[in-house]
A and B are shown apart, each in its own frame.
Chain A
Amino acid sequence: MKTPAIETFDLAKNYGATRALLGLDLRVNEGEVVGCLGPNGAGKTTLIRLLLGLLIPSRGRAEIFGLDARRDTVAAHRRLAYVPGEANLWPSLSVAETLRLLGRVHGKIDLTYQTELIDRFSLEPSKRVRALSKGNRQKLILVAALASRADLLVLDEPTNGLDPLMEQAFRLCVHEAKERGQSVLLSSHILSEVEALCDQIAILRAGSLVEMGTLAEMRHLSALTVEVTFERSVPDVTRVPGVSSVDVQDLTLRCQVRGSVEPLLNALANSGVRELLSREPSLEELFLTHYGAPAADVANVNAP
């Protein structure tokens, strides 16, 4: 069996009395793209900073390709590249100078790919970092990381500040990385991005891993969304077993059904159903199910 790209064992982190991460066991296999979801303060960034050795765990440990993230930091970092959500670079250097410096420190850079990335992300090599917008700084740090072709990409909200075109360019890069067999850990608030890119999804809540699996597995375990339009009036289905989140507007009923849909269908018989639609939950709905927000708020949460 291959060594996993990332493996954590009871990884915990406390900041004084605040418990940011409570004994996390996570595994990212080689070649896998894993999305890490969670609301603000769930522990995503703490997890990533522990993996990078920037924070010291209060308990447990993390391994990168079998190397201890804390003790064998330098060896582990030879095999990974990291993109933070906010780029704090040296303002007086130009884009090209920054790439050269970071490339030298990393040691191994695919220069041809770097040139292609500069072009793909429309970066101006001669511009000083000071003169770059937030989005352009983010592109710079992305190019520096991707050009290393590292075995593992650790991305913490990497598309922070990018416009939709650049976000497409980023998605293409992650697809390419996946095809090359690179592993990716992607922490993001943009659910559509995670949905489009990731093989596996890990959902964190208050420092714990509450769910991990493929999107299909999660959908299977979760509720089905059912929307029914009636001819005359809407019957009361709130007492039907498995039905929740009932929302009625005019002659349309929307609800979630967990388990078998048969009790609901029985309840609806002879109620004058004009139209019945059912669909699997979107990632947004899955995400919100874990955090208890009403489905109607989905649209608000998806703002990148």
Chain B
Amino acid sequence: MSTLLSSSTSAVSRAQRSRLAIGRVTTRKAVRSGAVWGVVFGLYIAIQALTYATSYKTLAARHLLVRQFGNNAGISALVGPANQIDTVPGFTAWKCLTVLAIIASVWGILTSTKLTRGEEDAGRWEVLLAGAVTRKGAATQALLGMAAGVSALFVTTSIISVAVGRDAKVGISVGSAVYFSVAIVSGALMFLVVGAFCSQLSTSRRQAAGLASVLLGASYALRMIADSSSGLAWLRWATPLGWIEELQPLTTPHSVALVPIVALVAVFAVGTVHLAGRRDLGAGVLSDRSTIEVIRPLPTTPIGLTLYLSRSVIVAWAVSILAYGLLLGGIAKSGGKIITSSPSLRLAFARLGVSGAEAYLSVALLIMAVVMSFIALGQISAARKEESSGQLENLLVRPFSRTAWLGERVALGTTVLVLGAVLAGVATWVGAISDHANVNLSSLLNAGLNVAFPALLLFGVGVLALGIVPRLVSTITYSLFVWFLLIELVGSEVKMNHWILDLSAFHQMAASPAAPVAWTANATMAAIALASTILGVEFFRRRDLKGE
């Protein structure tokens, strides 16, 4: 009898466990990723705070910093307003908040689209949903699991922030450090639910991530406009990234901005669960037409099909580049005033024959280099996805060679990157001349093309990874990108050895248009990209086709 009882109890607990399987799996993956990124965030905060505390010891040095950066519209537009940057907490908040909140938001989008739509696309939810779990239940479990991931991000960031805050030189209270972590992590939470919501609307992970990225891009653009002029500050209340800024951690905390943040999370979370219950598994709310009466004039070549299927992603990137270019260019002149406020900088740039606007644009174009890198990462992930999903087999079992397929993919990726770079240069120039800034088209075209090289390098390394270790393509390329970015963001602060700095493609890229384009460095990056691509194609030709 007791055996019977215990076996029925264990059967019940097994059933219970399988009912919660989606929640468990999501929690495990999200917590792991959240903890890792929390360490990165914490270290970034620690480096910024400690570097400031040791580099700007005197009041005079700090006041000089305020004169250079305080109230500068261009700098505000890029990374948020510089409030109280004559204090360690103020400077730390200014250097970290916008940058980390954006990275956290991207993390939120990638994590939620991967763990909801991605898992569903891979068919892993189907087995579980055939059991006692409803679709609404599955969505709720996934949201809670991902919330655990955000908690891990929050806890890790907080622990390191609190620890560094206790340093006598830094002097940030426990409460302030925790509130600061809340502000950063709220970006992750908001865009996590936005990503989950877009996953319900879309029919693929790429489409969901693209849609959520457009929302993040729009949010950033609105925040840029709001921060570029004091008359438009009210616009901050219209954008999630503006709400994060309005929290004003470490300076003048303003917790009322938590209200729209919590409201957005609640609305999108409820919306996600609601839509999950209404749609079919594997389908999206958008594009639910199951028949197409006329044959659309679709391309009938493999590359034409790829171009057609990725058209929305490419258009979204083009619009983002155009919008950023116009915005960055449009505030170039005011951004350039930073130069004129500092006599020593003005003299240095005057010797180089560079205007303030050009100096500002060279900093601003680094953001464009990051955008271009994301395009490269997306292109290489899409190629791998075509292989792992089995769709590529349909082409390769016909008279169509592997070299032709990957060659066409490389040609498409390169074209998109080069055209994107040209667009970046032209849009920035148009923006700048609309602000009557003194910049010429050819120097901005060169500066635009300049930002394509780190992206081309990432793309080339991605092709090589695809040829040798296809299952690790995303891990390798994203890690390399994070490495490049961290070195660029942190390297100059902590005065890293130049050998380490040289390993970042963003560091190799010249700060153009202020500095002349470093064609030798760019040619080296292009040569590495080309060699990696050729090797990658050759390895791809010689290996087994591999699924997930």
Name A's B-contacting residues (CB within 8 A): 49, 52-56, 73-75, 77-78, 80, 82, 84, 86, 88-94, 96-97, 100-102, 104-107, 124-128, 130-131, 141
Taken together as a complex, chains A and B put the C-alpha atoms of A74 and B301 apart, in Å, by 16
Tell me whether B399 and A106 are in contact (CB under 8 A): yes
Interface membership of chain B positions 377-410, coded 1 if the CB is closer than 8 angstroms to chain A and 0 otherwise: 0000000000001110111111111100000000
Tell me whether B395 and A105 are in contact (CB under 8 A): yes
Taken together as a complex, chains A and B put the C-alpha atoms of A78 and B397 apart, in Å, by 9
Taken together as a complex, chains A and B put the C-alpha atoms of A80 and B301 apart, in Å, by 19
Taken together as a complex, chains A and B put the C-alpha atoms of A75 and B305 apart, in Å, by 23
The interface residues of chain A lying within 8 Å CB-to-CB of B395 are: 105
The interface residues of chain A lying within 8 Å CB-to-CB of B305 are: 90, 101
User: What does DSSP make chain B's interface, helix, strand, loop or mixed?
Assistant: loop
Tell me whether A127 and B291 are in contact (CB under 8 A): yes
Residue B495 at the A interface, CB < 8 A? Answer: no
Tell me whether B397 and A82 are in contact (CB under 8 A): yes
Residue B503 at the A interface, CB < 8 A? Answer: no
Q: Tell me the smallest distance from the CB of A107 to a CB of chain B, in Å.
A: 6
Tell me whether B291 and A130 are in contact (CB under 8 A): no
Taken together as a complex, chains A and B put the C-alpha atoms of A128 and B365 apart, in Å, by 42
Interface membership of chain B positions 267-305, coded 1 if the CB is closer than 8 angstroms to chain A and 0 otherwise: 000000000000000110001011111011010111001
User: A56-B544, A74-B399 given as contacts; is B290 within 8 A of A127 (CB)?
Assistant: yes
Tell me whether B399 and A92 are in contact (CB under 8 A): no
Tell me whether B397 and A54 are in contact (CB under 8 A): yes
User: A54-B545, A88-B391, A101-B305 given as contacts; is B292 within 8 A of A126 (CB)?
Assistant: yes
Name B's A-contacting residues (CB within 8 A): 203-204, 282-283, 287, 289-293, 295-296, 298, 300-302, 305, 309, 389-391, 393-402, 542-545
Tell me whether A93 and B393 are in contact (CB under 8 A): no
Tell me whether A131 and B290 are in contact (CB under 8 A): yes
The interface residues of chain A lying within 8 Å CB-to-CB of B282 are: 130
Taken together as a complex, chains A and B put the C-alpha atoms of A49 and B546 apart, in Å, by 11
The interface residues of chain B lying within 8 Å CB-to-CB of A92 are: 203, 287, 309
The interface residues of chain B lying within 8 Å CB-to-CB of A75 are: 399
**Nearest 4 pairs between A and B by C-beta?**
A88-B390, A131-B290, A104-B300, A94-B292
The interface residues of chain A lying within 8 Å CB-to-CB of B289 are: 128
The interface residues of chain B lying within 8 Å CB-to-CB of A52 are: 396-397
Tell me whether B291 and A107 are in contact (CB under 8 A): no
Tell me whether B391 and A89 are in contact (CB under 8 A): yes
Q: Which of A88, A100, A125, A128 contacts B393 (CB 8 A)?
A: A88
Tell me whether B396 and A128 are in contact (CB under 8 A): no
Tell me whether B544 and A55 are in contact (CB under 8 A): yes
- Which of A56, A84, A92: most chain B Cβ within 10 A? A92
Q: Which of A77, A96, A104 contacts B295 (CB 8 A)?
A: A96
Taken together as a complex, chains A and B put the C-alpha atoms of A75 and B400 apart, in Å, by 9
The interface residues of chain B lying within 8 Å CB-to-CB of A91 are: 203-204
Q: Which of B390, B399, B402, B542 contacts A105 (CB 8 A)?
A: B399
Taken together as a complex, chains A and B put the C-alpha atoms of A253 and B305 apart, in Å, by 64
Tell me whether A84 and B393 are in contact (CB under 8 A): yes
Q: Tell me the smallest distance from the CB of A194 to a CB of chain B, in Å.
A: 22
Q: Which of B389, B399, B545 contacts A77 (CB 8 A)?
A: B399
Known: A53-B396, A56-B544. 11 other contacts (CB 8 A): A73-B402, A74-B400, A82-B397, A89-B391, A89-B394, A96-B295, A97-B296, A104-B301, A105-B398, A106-B399, A130-B283
Give A77's nearest chain B residue, CB to CB. B399
Q: Tell me the smallest distance from the CB of A93 to a CB of chain B, in Å.
A: 7
Tell me whether A88 and B389 are in contact (CB under 8 A): yes
Tell me whether B291 and A102 are in contact (CB under 8 A): no
Taken together as a complex, chains A and B put the C-alpha atoms of A82 and B394 apart, in Å, by 9
Tell me whether A73 and B401 are in contact (CB under 8 A): yes
The interface residues of chain B lying within 8 Å CB-to-CB of A89 are: 391, 394
Taken together as a complex, chains A and B put the C-alpha atoms of A102 and B395 apart, in Å, by 7
Taken together as a complex, chains A and B put the C-alpha atoms of A49 and B542 apart, in Å, by 14
User: A54-B397, A54-B544 given as contacts; is B203 within 8 A of A131 (CB)?
Assistant: no
Taken together as a complex, chains A and B put the C-alpha atoms of A54 and B291 apart, in Å, by 33
Q: Which of B287, B295, B400, B401 contacts A97 (CB 8 A)?
A: B295
Tell me whether A56 and B543 are in contact (CB under 8 A): yes
Taken together as a complex, chains A and B put the C-alpha atoms of A124 and B390 apart, in Å, by 23
A selection of 30 A-B contacts at a CB cut-off of 8 Å is A54-B545, A55-B545, A73-B402, A74-B400, A75-B399, A77-B397, A77-B399, A82-B397, A86-B390, A88-B390, A88-B391, A90-B309, A92-B203, A92-B287, A94-B292, A97-B292, A97-B295, A97-B298, A100-B300, A101-B300, A104-B300, A105-B302, A106-B399, A107-B398, A107-B399, A124-B291, A127-B290, A128-B289, A128-B290, A130-B203
